[in-house]
Amino acid sequence: MSDTSPDEERLRRLIGAEDLSWLVDRVRQRIARNVPLTGSVSLGDPTAGQRRAVAVLLGRRPPTGTSLTVNLASVDALLRSAGHGGLAAAVTALNGPVASLSVERLRAERAWRQALSPLDTAVTGRPELAEWRSWLDATGMIRRLAPGPAEAAALLASFVAVLDRLPARSIPLGRLAAETCLDAHALDDGRPLSALVLSAARALTGRPFRSESSAESRRAVWAAVGVHLDELSSAVLTLGLAADPSSPLGAVLAAHRGAGEPAILTLRQLRRHAAPLVAERVHLCENPVVIAAAADDLGPACPPLVCVGGHPSAAVWRLLSLLREGGAAFLYHGDFDWGGVAIATALHQRVGFIPWRYSSADYLAAPDGSALTGRPLPTPWSAELSSAMEARALRVEEELLLDHLLRDLRASGPWPSTG
């Protein structure tokens, strides 16, 4: 026994054939867009069956030509005369109600706003992410990572949980993912959440928001917010540091200090040393050349010196944390360029420092370097430095001041002021 009514059966015989489905689809599209059902619709390169179906519907000879054209008013009149209420009523009865595209768009946008709401709330209290938040909308990144609002809501719930932990003091990537997302692989390379968190981490550390393709660059970004991929590849270069000689770390440092040689400390070594490292003053530099020159020039007489090596790794942050717990005051020097300023800003925010030949006066007294490029950044440790760098428009690498830095280290006390 058929479940359809006689009226529905007649309607399906009229316009329900497979060869007329293109016509019904065109009508439904017009209804969805709120376009009047007037004029004609055409089908290019129709089959013989589609030609015959239109001929049967309209009671005429099968049309010829390269396209098939149907006058909607004629079909509407035919359906009304057959008691089916016209074309719009007929296709609705045949295949169900047609959702308005404008209503669907409004509903979808409302769902997207709800999905994005936790992200907006999280960013509101972090002004350093305001520009990044606008960049997300401009690039459509979230909508590329998540096909719909429901998927975006789940993605952003995990993102907010991760963001709340950044910057971290030092945590393995898998542990961070497990604790925030209940999935130790949620932040693995290639996962949508990893791409989103890395872009935010770049914003937090003053880098361009776009993705970087190399594994090394991603490792550096994670390290800059206190997340490490493993404990052995993350390391820090030091000279003249000391620790309790009865501890494994202290024994290593004592041997290197006695020989006047630099020590490369891994994150594994530093994480397994819980006691503070005691030092009154620790000089920090950006580039390894300062460590090498100090080892050559001063050897065992070099005061505590740490190279942050560009954007600090997880090992650097761990070492500075141990030194700060031991009461150390940090003195920092880096390159006079916008990348160097971004590194210094991260250090200033997390551990604080006294500028070591790294003020506006020091910059203006430094030798000429190459052209300064990049986006200007504020310099909170020396308010005038940023303006001076914009005005002079020259980058001064740390190597150009190496003699001055070595003289300061040799004196191991107050260094000459340049103004």
Last residue of a domain, one of 67, 98, 129: 98
Whether residue 328 lies inside any domain: the answer is yes
Handedness of CA 367, 370, 371, 375 (dihedral sign): negative
Question: Cα–Cα–Cα angle for 20, 25, 27, nearest 5°?
Answer: 100
One digit per residue, the tens of pLDDT, for the chain of length 419 reads: 445 577 778 888 888 888 888 888 888 888 778 888 888 888 888 898 998 888 888 888 877 778 888 888 888 888 888 888 888 888 888 888 877 666 667 777 788 888 888 898 888 888 889 899 999 988 999 989 988 888 989 999 999 999 999 988 878 888 999 999 999 889 988 899 999 999 999 999 888 888 766 777 888 888 888 887 777 778 899 999 999 889 999 999 999 999 999 999 998 899 889 899 999 999 999 999 999 999 999 999 999 999 999 888 888 999 999 999 999 999 999 999 999 999 999 999 999 999 999 999 999 999 999 999 999 999 999 999 999 999 999 999 999 999 999 999 999 743 333 32
Structural domain contains residue 85: yes
**Domain hosting residue 283, numbered range:** 235-411
* Nearest CA-CA partner of 401 in 338, 353, 356: 356
Separation between Cα atoms, residue 383 and residue 419, nearest integer Å: 15
pLDDT digits over 29-61, tens only? 887 788 888 888 888 888 989 988 888 888 888
Same domain, 305 and 374: yes
Give the length of the chain: 419
Residue 406 within a domain: yes
Pair (292, 251) in one structural domain = yes
For the domain that residue 278 is a member of, what is the CATH number?
3.40.1360
- Residue 140 located in a structural domain: yes
Helices assigned H by DSSP within 265-328: 267-271, 288-297, 314-325
Residue 84 burial (C-beta neighbours within 10 Å; 0-12, 13-18, 19+): buried
Q: Return d(Cα 301, Cα 307) in angstroms, integer.
A: 17
Tell me: do 239 and 223 sit in the same domain: no
**Residue 217 lies inside a defined structural domain of this protein:** yes
Q: What is the DSSP letter of 308?
A: -
Report field, pTM of the whole predicted structure over 0.85: no
What is the rounded CA–CA span in Å between residue 250 and residue 238? 13
Domain total for the chain?
3
Is residue 341 one of the residues assigned to a domain?
yes
Secondary structure E strands in 58-110: 67-71
Residue where one domain finishes, among candidates 173, 198, 228: 228
φ/ψ of 169, rounded to 5, equals: -75, -35
**Residues 193, 296: one domain?**
no
Same domain, 24 and 61: yes
Q: Are residues 208 and 309 in the same domain?
A: no
Asked if residue 417 belongs to a domain, the reply is no
What are the tens digits of pLDDT across the range 326-383?
999 999 999 999 999 999 999 999 999 999 999 999 999 999 999 999 999 999 999 9
> 153 vs 111, 118, 150, 177, CA distance in Å?
9, 8, 5, 17
Quick one: pLDDT at residue 417? 32
Tally the C-alpha atoms within 13 A of residue 192's C-alpha that lie toward its C-beta: 17
Asked if residue 353 belongs to a domain, the reply is: yes
Q: Which of 186, 213, 228 is the last residue of a domain?
A: 228
Give the integer Cα–Cα distance in Å for 384 and 283.
23
